[in-house]
Structure 1
Amino acid sequence: MKLLDVLTSPWAIQPDKLREIGEIYATHLRGEKIDIGAVEARIGRPLANEPQNYDIIDGVAIVPLFGVIAKRMNLFSQISGGASAELAIRDLRAAAADPNVKAIILHIDSPGGTVDGTQQLAAVVRQVAQEKPVSALADGTMASAAYWIGSAAQSVYITDKTTQVGSIGVVATHVDVSGSEQQRGIKTTEIFAGKYKRISSQYGPLTESGKQVMQDHVDYLYQLFVESVADHRGVSVDKVLSDMADGRVFIGQQAIDAGLVDGVSSMSELIAQMANATVPAGVQAKPTTPQKGKRMDLATLKKEHPDLAQALIEEGFAAGKSEGEQIGATNERARILGIEAHGMPGHEALIATLKADGKTNPDQAAAQVLAAEKGKLKTAAADLASDAPAPVPAAAEPAGAAKPKANDIATRASAIVAEEKAAGRDISYAAAAARASRELAAQ
């Protein structure tokens, strides 16, 4: 990551750590050379932070993930004791292929990091978990991007009741350096082609269109984050949004109650349990039925008891077919009802198509309806702008007149849509926005 691009990239990280990174960035903007020696003296340790390979204890590989996570090692990794997603991927794959390793623990103490590289690392955790048992252990903090990664393990634990977990969210920052340049007698002029090429340029104030582009990017990444956590933890997107997300940080038992983690375990306990293939502390083991007597395979059964084997096969086929039909019908009804629950005025055709395709689930339907509504709102806004009459040059606003703020218009428009819906009437968001603008202007 280039230093000048550090804050414009999306981050999944705790706010205080992002501020620390921002201070380093600000030092660079002031033209000051970052004194690595001074930083080492202040924190009382060298900044080598060389990547460590995993350790193996009793057949369990310990893969560390400490500090700010970046796709590759860089200056911020040196200063903040960060981790490289690429190196973690390397170590996970090596541990999966290591014949001396029978289980893996992701040892995590991280406030999060850049979005770039996080999803790929989480995907590798899921892939490796298909080959060997993988657990994540939060030792201090497992927040934002670190939780995105840790949640991909088959089980997630915290070391004690003060461990911080969660902070599911995404942030991007725009820094206007034009004032700083002006103080130094510098003026940067950018020559570019393409409407969106420099829409959020740092060499000037952030425009509304630039802000919207950045917001769209953040919203998209947040949706990916939430969907990934839902998939990793085996819960619905709605469950994640209502109980786990919105940037909230959960401590100890709160994280267990919210479903972000499975229990409490020390490193030594977790190693012993994984080495012995037992269930870690805090989780009730699934009961197993002991096998008694001699096991007989299907080939032997067919040879020694052909009539019984055929009867069992036919009985199993009939029972499986009946049960499958019942389950299929129940699941299809639940799928259709779930899709209908996400319906919005103006998207009836889309809902009908999603119900009929036989494969779209309610969460996917919600995402498609939301995307369609977003496109509809953008089109409506563009139509309103194009249909608006040209301003009268001679007319001047009365002294002290204040234009309604965009946030106020949006809030009032949402309320109008809700009021009309409660009254059994449909109204487009564009029409509601126009009415809200008139009402607020009249106040």
Structure 2
Amino acid sequence: MTEPPEIKQKAVAEAGPSLAQIAGRVLNRPLLLHPDKADLILHVLQGRIGIEPLQAITPETNRFVGTYRRANGSIGSMRVENGVAILPIVGSLVNRGAWIGASSGLVSYEGIAAQLREAVADPEVRAILLDIDSSGGEATGMFATAKLVAAVNKTKPVVAFVNDVAASAAYGIASAASEIIVSPTSMVGSIGVVLTHLDRSGELEDRGVKPTLIHAGAHKVDGHPFGPLSDAVRADLQAEVIKIYDQFVDLVAEGRTGRISADAIRATDARTYLGADAIAQCLADRMASLDEVIAALSQPPSGASPQRKGGPMTQTPQNEAQQGDVSAISPADLQSAVEVTRAEAHTAGVTAGKAEATARIKSIMTAPETEGREAQALVLALETEMTAADAAKVLAASPKTASATSIADRAAQEAELGAETPADHRNRSERNAAGWSKAITQANARFN
């Protein structure tokens, strides 16, 4: 009997990437990776030695905390404990792929972004905990992920818990959270960039192999492994590393604004720090255990009221004067006055709420970033209180919905040449209008 496609896909995912795939990701590419991790990877690739891991690290590391099942019966991609979504960032970081802390030891920026968007749209989630144990990984994709963390943090608090390493790219993601919490033995930092080149010419010579590179374009084979780097190629690669390093420093300084400056970050010279030393260097904020962090995030914000918006009502002197005369009003008249006032306040509140909600929803649904992401925009508009500006940032960082399942399908749906036709523009406008109409109908239903 033929196995179902989902079983085959699961088997492929569990098998993990091959050594050739890993080599393609780590050689001659700038990495935001702790040097010890880079050294281990190079030993595995160079000698192909067998290393038996003590234990495969997966998202189930915290299997005793929270549950994947939601109150409505659905199953989420991350555990939730008392309103706190626990998002694991465990293993080496790569840009693309379905890995989310898979047994291969890889976690993708794509997977992190998908979980962040899920947590924002989940009404059961009030806060997000980044549970980090990673030495870093690819530079490509980290910056967009950190920006998404910062955008989500404006709607729901995002806290990074280092359990037990947040180095390089992993620290870059953590720096965008509202707070970085460590244990006494947590290791953070390594704010730097590394690029590795392997010169295999001696190895090939011993084996009697002499490669010849035939190419067009002077820089087509820059960095090839069949000989040492020339001074010019080394200088080009160094310039690329410095450029990414500058961006990395600026990213951390922005995320840690008011706590550490760009100059202080550079002064660390990519060192790592443990526990209290990390706090002293302003690379972390405080110490706590995982249970303490979850317990704190599970509490409603101080001063919160049952109202959806606004703070607790304050009493004006006029109200106090009116309360002083209550004894002169009969109970029946007092009750009647209370009911009238309550009805008027409700009507005014509903009217104002509708106008405000309508304007916000319209801004989200008609934003340029919404095109191709209408379904997600609808969730952000109706199921969160995210501002239109923040929603635009989240949408911009999200992939557009695919309109076809294959290259042939997509080719059949596209015009061969030329700009967008009036009919194309009209169809897109009609789709946007339909989404806007649906949003208004659902919003009115909620307020009524």
Runs in 1 of length 4+ with deviation above 4 angstroms?
44-52, 77-80, 289-292
**1:182 corresponds to which of 205, 225, 238:** 205
Going from structure 1 to structure 2, the CA distance change for 1:276 and 1:5 (only over 3 Å counts) comes to closer
1:267 counterpart = 2:287: no
Question: What code does the residue aligned with 2:165 have?
Answer: T
> For the structure 1 residues 48 and 63, does the alpha-carbon distance in structure 2 shift closer, same or farther, using more than 3 Å as the test?
closer
Tell me if structure 1 keeps the 8 A contact 2:57–2:103.
Answer: yes
Q: Does 1:167 align with 2:177?
A: no
Tell me the alpha carbon deviations over residues 286-316 of structure 1, each in whole angstroms, 9 at most, x when there is no partner. xxx99752499xxxxxxxxxxxxxxxxxxxx
One-letter amino acid matched to 2:204: E
| Aligned position for 1:108 | 132
Quote the offset at 1:214 in angstroms: 1.0
Displacement of 1:8 in angstroms is 1.2
Distance 1:100 1:200, change over 3 A: same
The answer to whether the Cα contact below 8 Å between 1:139 and 1:163 also exists between their aligned partners in 2 is yes
Is 1:21 aligned with 2:46?
Answer: no
Deviations 1:334-366 (A, max 9, x none): xxxxxxxxxxxxxxxxxxxxxxxxxxxxxxxxx
Among 228, 235, 252, the residue aligned to 2:275: 252
Report the equivalent of 1:390.
Answer: none
For residues 223-278 of structure 1, what are the alpha-carbon distances to aligned partners after superposition, in whole Å with 9 as ceiling and x for unaligned? 00000000000043223223xx3111111111111111111121111111112145
Work out whether residues 199 and 209 of structure 1, in 8 Å CA contact, stay in contact via their aligned partners in 2.
no
Change (3 A) 1:150 1:5: closer
After superposition, what is the alpha-carbon deviation per residue over 1:28-84, rounded to whole angstroms, capped at 9, x for unaligned?
5xxxxx8xxx65xx3254688899931100011000001211113599x86762321
* 1:184 Cα offset (Å): 2.8
Residues 1:118 and 2:142 are matched in the alignment: yes
Which amino acid is 1:170 matched to? V
Question: Are the equivalent residues in 2 in contact too, given 1:49–1:81 (CA < 8 A)?
Answer: no
Query: Which of the numbers 223, 235, 240 marks the counterpart of 1:200?
Result: 223
Tell which deviates more after alignment, 45-54 or 81-90.
45-54
SS at match of 1:139: strand
State yes or no: 1:239 paired with 2:264.
yes
Amino acid at match of 2:154: Q
Partner-residue secondary structure (3-state), 2:87:
strand
Give yes or no for contact 2:98–2:110 (8 Å, CA) kept in 1: no
1:132 matched to 2:156? The reply is: yes
Three-state SS of the structure 1 residue aligned to 2:47 is helix
Secondary structure in 2 aligned to 1:201? coil
Give per-residue Cα distances to partners, 1:398-422, cap 9 Å, x unaligned.
xxxxxxxxxxxxxxxxxxxxxxxxx
Contact 1:66-1:108 at 8 Å conserved across structures: yes
Query: Structure 1 pair 69/127, CA: closer, same or farther in 2 (3 Å)?
Result: same
Alpha-carbon distance between aligned partners in 2 of 1:237 and 1:250, rounded to the nearest angstrom: 17
Letter in 2 for 1:126: A
**Gap change, CA 1:293 and 1:78, over 3 Å in 2:** closer
Task: Measure, in 2, the Cα distance between the counterparts of 1:46 and 1:237.
Answer: 37
Q: Structure 2: any 5+ residue segments left out of the alignment?
A: 1-20, 62-67, 69-76, 303-310, 319-448
Give the TM-score taking structure 2 as reference length: 0.56
Aligned to 2:85: 61
Task: Provide the residue aligned with 2:414 in structure 1.
Answer: none
Backbone CA RMSD of aligned residues: 3.0
Letter in 1 for 2:265: V
Instruction: Give, in angstroms, the shift of residue 125 of structure 1.
Output: 0.8
Comparing 82-91 with 66-75, greater Cα deviation is found at 66-75
Secondary structure, counterpart of 2:220 in structure 1:
coil
Aligned to 1:54, what secondary structure does the other structure show?
A: strand
Structure 1: any 5+ residue segments left out of the alignment?
29-33, 280-288, 297-443
Amino acid at match of 1:209: A
Query: Partners of 1:184 and 1:79 in 2: how far apart?
Result: 35
The answer for the alignment partner of 1:144 in structure 2 is: 168
Q: Does 1:87 align with 2:111?
A: yes
| Separation in structure 2 between the aligned mates of residue 123 and residue 256 of structure 1, nearest angstrom | 23
TM-score, normalised relative to structure 1: 0.57
Instruction: State the number of aligned residues.
Output: 274
Q: How does 1:329-368 map to 2 (within 5 A)?
A: none
Structure 1 residues 26 and 137: alpha-carbon distance in aligned structure 2, compared to 1, 3 A threshold: same
| AA partner of residue 266 (structure 2) | L
The one-letter code matched in structure 1 to 2:207 is R
> Counterpart in 1 of 2:336?
none
Amino acid of the structure 2 residue aligned with 1:16: D
SS at match of 1:165: strand
**AA matched with 2:274:** I
